Amino acid sequence: MVLWEIYQILSGKPISSNYVTDTRMDLVVGFIGGILGYFLFSSRTIGK
């Protein structure tokens, strides 16, 4: 998640007019995706 933000800055990708909001949304969506992935994966593998 944080690496993506660093990549966007270093690669010179167009930065939206409100960079702080864009960064927050990227981090929130990435965090939620990580949690969902963990629960989906762990529910199918742990305890078997």
Residue 10 has a pLDDT of 80
**Residue 48: pLDDT above 60?**
no
Q: Is the pTM of this model over 0.85?
A: no
Q: Where are the alpha helices (DSSP H) in 1-48?
A: 2-11, 19-45
Residue 34 sits in which domain range?
2-45
Tokens of 42: 């762990």
* Burial of 34: CB neighbours in 10 Å, binned 0-12, 13-18, 19+: exposed
pLDDT digits (tens, 9 = 90+) for 1-45: 677 777 777 877 766 677 778 778 888 888 998 999 898 888 777
SS3 38: helix
Residue 14 has a pLDDT of 63
Question: Residue holding tokens 């965090």?
Answer: 31
22, 15 in Cβ contact below 8 A?
A: yes
In the chain, the number of structural domains is 1
